[in-house]
Amino acid sequence: MQITFLGTSSGVPTRSRNVSSLTLRLPQRAEFWLFDCGEGTQHQLLRSELKTSQLRRIFITHLHGDHIFGLMGLLASCGLAGNVDRVDIYGPPGLNDYLKACSKYSHTRFSFPTQVHTVSPGIIYEDEEYTVICGALKHRVTAFGYRIVEKDRSGRFDVEKAKALKIPPGPIYGQLKRGETVTLDDGRKIQGKNLCGEPEIGRKFVYCTDTVYCDGAVDLAQDADVLIHEATFAHQDSQLAFERLHSTSTMAAQVALSAGVKQLIMTHFSPRYAPGNDIGLEDLLKEAQAIFPKTKLAYDFFSYEIPRRRVPELVVEGR
């Protein structure tokens, strides 16, 4: 699971930062998921190592322009390229109407199937490997954060050990790898967990923007391996943050601390903190790290590999 930031500025692009968008790459599936799609996102994708043919799902947090103005252009380009099989789009009420209006007035028709899913708090997608949960945030319009949970997997199956125990190959190996207990023809009972390495604990990725500090963000981010949280303003501009329902660097850090996350990455920075101004992004980083030391600043094309957590190897019963 690899995160790549395509845009880290709030409101408007700057010379070094595009507006909001990031990807979650799932290489074992040869696909990636897109989160928000500000103007120019397709240009950022062209400059990255990602292939638009692997775009599979898009998650939109809210309907402000700096999060959706690139969506129609990206989908239209994918249609012209003819290399996308299907795209599922998730977002707040009104997103489907917006895309329909864009299609109507631009006379655009997609050559691949799309489906817009209107989200509400709770599970919005689930398959054999991942669960996606949506949670309400606090902004000037309806806004949601997303939590992606990778399901736990059993550890690597020790084929050599199975052969040494004279377990016949076949479907039994699959059962044992899933941790099941199997009774062999000779009456022996074999516990699958004793033939597998350390279990692979599912990773948790959380994306929260735009929002002021709120309990919803803390709930969504519980025990996350990485939390991506907006930090539009510095602490000294907290009054602006409350007025515009955005977060400061210290608010983002407080969410991370309260939720017990492993890593915080801040994004969605106001252009007022560009190089040369009295307050810079390094100041926001110091403010956040004073509360939550494991904080990083995002920048365009920054990639972060979400590390996997492991638990101690299971002890065989009776030993």
28 burial type by CB count under 10 A (0-12 exposed, 13-18 middle, 19+ buried) = exposed
Tokens of 159: 């084929």
Task: Give yes or no: 225 in active site.
Answer: no
Tell me the chain's radius of gyration from C-alpha atoms: 22
CA distances from 305 to 63, 100, 148, 166, 185 (A): 28, 36, 15, 39, 45
Give the span between the Cα atoms of 311 and 198, in whole angstroms: 7
- Contacts (Cβ under 8 Å, ≥6 apart) of 292: 253, 254, 256, 257, 264
Tokens of 146: 């997303």
The residues that bridge with 267 in the sheet, in sequence order, are 230
Catalytic residue among 66, 225, 237, 300: 66
Active-site residue set: 66
